[in-house]
Amino acid sequence: MKSRHTLERRTGGRRERVILQSSMSNRTGGEVRIRSVLNVRDDDLRAWRRANPRLTAPYVPSGGVSL
């Protein structure tokens, strides 16, 4: 692992990753902020989505879902 802020598990064709990002504005004695990101990649799901494009939501780079 490149960073202690990332946890990753791989099993079969699936990869699960949890990323913790601290805020640049964190200071001693003050509020601490972190952001968590969960990524899941699955080879079987990718193949299904490619085979059934009309049944899936389009990818939106901003992280939201476009319907």
* Any domain includes 63: no
CA–CA distance, 47 with 41 (Å, rounded to integer): 11
* Banded pLDDT at 5 (limits 50, 70, 90): confident
pLDDT number for residue 14: 92
CA distances to 17, 31, 32, 57 from 60, in Å: 19, 32, 29, 9
* Any domain includes 1: no
* Any domain includes 66: no
pLDDT number for residue 1: 42
pTM above 0.75, yes or no: no
Q: Tell me, what DSSP letter sits at residue 53? A: G
- Domains contained in the chain, number: 1
pLDDT number for residue 64: 54
Name the H helices within the chain: 43-51
* Any domain includes 67: no
